[in-house]
Chain A
Amino acid sequence: MYTLKFDANLCKICPTCDCLVLCQYMDLDIDKAKEEIMKISEGEDSFVLQDCVTCYGCEEYCKRGNHPFYLITERRQQKGILTSPRAITKQWINIGEPRGKYRLGEIKEKILSFGFMPEFLQLVKGRLFDDVMPSYVFGQEFFCNVVYIHFANTSIIKERLPMVIDNFKKLGVQEVVCMHDECFGSFASLAPAYGIEVPFKSIHYFEYLYNRLERLGDEIRPLNIKVAYQRPCSSRLSPDKHHFVADIMKLIGVDLVERRYQGENALCCGGIFGMAFGYELANDVQKRNIDDMVDSGAEYCVFNCPACQSTLAAKVTKKGIKPIHIIDLCRMAIGEK
């Protein structure tokens, strides 16, 4: 069985304990943060195991690559601490179960992975994807399963992720462009953290989009609009790719507005919060987030994750902000929308 590579000594000598100090949903000073993370690493009880809302933020705050959130998740599962109601957890695990109903495009060495997000079957079109499409995969067989860290369930990931990776391997692909952060994070962050071998190169779709836009440079017409970016939880698993948001916006002439809740300070869309913790937390986070978008003068809310878009689109629209996926925004810039 795969085990998490976690070095408690790194925490012991950590001068900042940013993993918990920077947490937006719990209030810990540096001493308390160190005490609690050490308790967690040693398998002791900690209120953090009860109170963590699974925003994934600590994976980004820890600059030592020590995977505090994966550790919290491991400990929760070991202790039987549920994050979400059992029914919700079961539902999500059932949804991801391979059923032999996957879809394959014309597979080449380089493919796009839609994971198990049907939205990409509609979103991915046009010249941005000319050089890869119709080489794609979609379905539970190619679903990374990393979302189950929200549900304190790493065992299902350890069971399914190697099979998913093997499915890619069987296709003989060399490069996988991951259309979702969780997919990319599974190959670039979680798999290495558990010693799971990834026999292909994974590419974040932001990087892919950026390179495509550069090549299509002559066709770009600056959009001259103000946008707020809704950063998804799973982008915390690959914070080194976050800069592409600003890079892409610059390339297509979009003003990425300065907000209180941006970058490391970004707020969750609240979708998982509602399911797991109820109305109060979800509503509070969504209200603060959307009010911040309004205050910053954003005309559009740009989404990276279709699930975030599904959760927030109607709510931002009611506040006069247009919801749009980043792929559609890029297509607008090259005159396709």
Chain B
Amino acid sequence: MSDITLSLAKIVGENYVSSGEEELYFYARDPGLMPAHKPDYVIMPKTAEEVQKIVRLAGKEKIPLVPMGAGMALTGLIIPLKGGIIVDMKRMNKILEVNEKARYVIVEGGTSHGLLKSYLEKNYPRLRHSIPDSPATATIAANVMIHGQGRLTQQYGFNSDMVTGLEVVLPSGEICKIGSCSISPDWFSKGAPLPDLSGLFLGWFGSTGIITKVALKLYPRKRMRDVEIFITDREDLIPDIIYEITHTEMVEDINIFAQPLPMIFKDNHHITIFLTGDTDEELEFKRKMIWDALDGFIKSKDGGFMSVPPVMKPTLLDMPQKSVCRFADVKKGGGFEYSGPIILVEKYPECSRKLMELASKYDLAYSAMARIIGRGHCMMFGFSFTFNRADPDMMERVRKALHEVSEYALSAGGVFWKPTVDEQRMAIERMDPNTRNLMKMIKNNLDPNGIMNPGNWEVN
């Protein structure tokens, strides 16, 4: 064992640290297209104090640190570009507190969305959180760190907007509380009425600190959910349709998808509308409001509600949905990656056309998938491609297509979501210089040694 391995083992115990080839191989990559790069060590802490000691050791030895949840972002955010220590947070998976009346939960930094969902269903059946459509192992802290979205995003914004407090280990090793919890035992707000310091960490991909606790807003869980799918063959009408649906304020979530296969989905854009209710009457009232809101499109024959047979509903209502996993294997070989810029809903037609243009240019299987954010303030538009991991040529074509997506997204006014390091560079170059300088000041002050997830948000 090296000195560093021994030092790390003293912090967490021998069973939870490794520099073995097997671990280094797996922790060198994520499921996306980014090239692998091995870490030097992998460690799994159990407490914030252990994280603190790891950070202090890394700071002393100038060793890079890469915090990791489940590693599901697909864009290489947990690939240790400069080696160092992967801090796998999955052992920190306790649900610490649920405040039922104030509707928030405090969890440790490695707690998964699946765990929280099942815990709430069992213990607090009238509460829910905004679960993303990533696999259930995706962690809550990583998800808010990348500004993920979930089932309640149409109503309440990004999942990071639902954070009500953080505990963070700073690059200097201090454990710092963010939000109301910094002066109160109650974790009800991540900022207001104080200065909101959560922005020093959310969206930084661990380059300013490691989240060891997150408090998250919970929301009423209705007894019933249902789904309707409105379809149109005119992509240019999507923004107007979304505007009408969101105006009703009757909808839980809105996703849009378009793909050429299977044949049932060919030629059309599908707006999947989720609705909830505690009674049949409530559900039916909402359904009627939504149908009525779109009646003009039906009468003009520009769109209609497709028949959603009962056999299809469980798949659609599943949380998280598994359809992405199925799409990932369309070409066999299990490869899937998407670029999902955050962009105005009015850009949907343009994004859709661009996706089809690129799919045709690079001969790729594609899927468009969009999620409406906050009553139509913006959307995540996923330019998704599936590929065979055993086909290097196909993978290269996907890389080229995604690069073109990145350039297009910026030119169309979009902002990258969970950007790759290349996209981060593009964003930094395009950014207002004063904003860039502010980011630089923050990064340099918080992480003067540049050990926190280096390569990411390198403003310098």
Contacts and interface: CB of A to CB of B under 8 A. Distances in A.
Most A CB within 10 A of own CB, among B288, B301, B303: B301
B315 to A, nearest CB: 15
Contacts of B297: 85
A278 B298 CA distance: 7
B266 interface: yes
B249 interface: no
Contacts of A278: 291, 295, 298-299, 304-305
Given A277-B298, A278-B298, A88 B267 contact: no
Contact of B306 (A97, A275, A307, A314): A275
A97 B307 contact: no
B264 A310 contact: no
A279 B288 contact: yes
Interface in A94-109: 94-95, 97, 99
A13 interface: no
Interface string A260-286: 000000000001001111110001000
B233 A86 contact: yes
Interface in B144-160: none
Interface string B195-235: 00000000000000000000000000000000000011100
B288 A82 contact: no
Contact of B304 (A84, A94, A97, A310): A84
B307 A85 contact: no
Contacts of B266: 90-91, 94
B78 to A, nearest CB: 40
Nearest to B299: A278
B396 to A, nearest CB: 30
Given A84-B301, A87-B233, A278-B298, A311 B307 contact: yes
B202 to A, nearest CB: 39
A94 B302 contact: no
A99 B263 contact: yes
B263 A85 contact: no
Nearest to A318: B280
Most A CB within 10 A of own CB, among B268, B297, B299: B268
Nearest to B310: A310
B305 A275 contact: yes
A82 B304 CA distance: 13
A254 interface: no
B193 interface: no
A228 interface: no
A90 B304 contact: no
Contacts of A87: 231-233, 267-269, 302-304, 306
B392 interface: no
Which applies to chain A's interface (DSSP): helix, strand, loop or mixed?
helix
A311 B305 CA distance: 13
Given A91-B231, A94-B263, A275 B291 contact: no
A276 B291 CA distance: 12
A87 B233 CA distance: 5
A84 B263 CA distance: 19
Most A CB within 10 A of own CB, among B232, B287, B298: B298
A217 to B, nearest CB: 35
Interface in A60-93: 82, 84-88, 90-91
B267 A91 contact: yes
Contacts of A274: 305, 307
Nearest to A118: B311
A94 B297 CA distance: 21
B280 to A, nearest CB: 6
Given A87-B231, A278-B291, A279-B295, A95 B307 contact: no
Contacts of B299: 278
Interface in B333-368: none
Contacts of B264: 91, 94-95
A271 B303 contact: no
Given A86-B302, A88-B304, A279-B287, 7 more contacts: A87-B232, A90-B233, A90-B268, A94-B267, A275-B306, A277-B298, A279-B288
22 contacts: A84-B301, A84-B304, A85-B297, A85-B301, A85-B302, A85-B304, A86-B301, A87-B232, A87-B267, A87-B304, A88-B306, A90-B233, A90-B267, A91-B264, A91-B266, A95-B263, A275-B305, A278-B291, A278-B298, A278-B299, A278-B304, A310-B307
Interface of B: 231-233, 263-264, 266-269, 280, 287-288, 291-292, 295, 297-299, 301-307, 309-311
